[in-house]
Amino acid sequence: MEAELTALAASGATAFVGLMVTEAWTQARGRVARFLARGEDVDVIDAELEESREELTAARAAADDDAIADVEEEWRIRLRRALRANPEAADELRTLLDELSPLGAAGPAVSVTNSISGGTQNGPVFQGQTFSALTFNSGRGADAPEQRPGTA
């Protein structure tokens, strides 16, 4: 049982640290903090998680693999201690990890095929679900005359 809890703690730390550098962390952080608090002040744990996220972000920017590993190791140890103190929390952690995993959130894989029809496309075509901060350049020179719809 000890080896299983150690492996679960390692999986949890890897998942939590991986989430810390994604947009999903804002939704996951509160749930992770509540799980880790276990009788402690949730706000204290939340602050510790945020501090780790800042350390991790700085370490990634500096390409400091040792610092990244240190953050993960810190949370692995904390999770292992929490699971040793309360082995019943293992099922709760497994459920939390399943819910936070990209596969669990996305559900089964779906194959999508898109096609473009209806004539010549004179610009970029994007197909997808979510786009942000896109910039389109027309390729027109600064001194080219502006064309109005319906004119050539």
Q: What is the pLDDT of residues 104-140, one digit of tens each?
A: 344 445 566 667 777 777 777 777 666 677 776 655 5
The owner of tokens 């810190």 is 74
Task: Determine the distance from the C-alpha atom of residue 3 to the mean position of all C-alpha atoms in its chain, rounded to a whole number.
Answer: 27
Q: How far apart are the first and last CA of the chain?
A: 75
| pLDDT higher than 50, residue 12 | yes
Q: How far apart are CA 118 and CA 44, in angstroms?
A: 58
| Helix segments in the chain, DSSP class H | 2-20, 25-37, 42-61, 65-85, 89-100, 102-106
| Residue in 61, 56, 62, 47 with CA at minimum distance from that of residue 14 | 56
pTM of the predicted protein model:
0.62
pLDDT band at 95 (very low <50, low <70, confident <90, very high): very high
Q: How far apart are CA 46 and CA 70, in angstroms?
A: 18
What number of residues does the chain have? 152
Determine the longest span between alpha carbons in the chain, in angstroms: 75
Of the listed ranges 1-5, 7-11, 45-49, the one predicted with least confidence: 1-5
Q: How far apart are CA 15 and CA 72, in angstroms?
A: 9
Half-sphere exposure of 95 (CA within 13 A, CB side): 7
Task: Determine the distance from the C-alpha atom of residue 128 to the mean position of all C-alpha atoms in its chain, rounded to a whole number.
Answer: 19
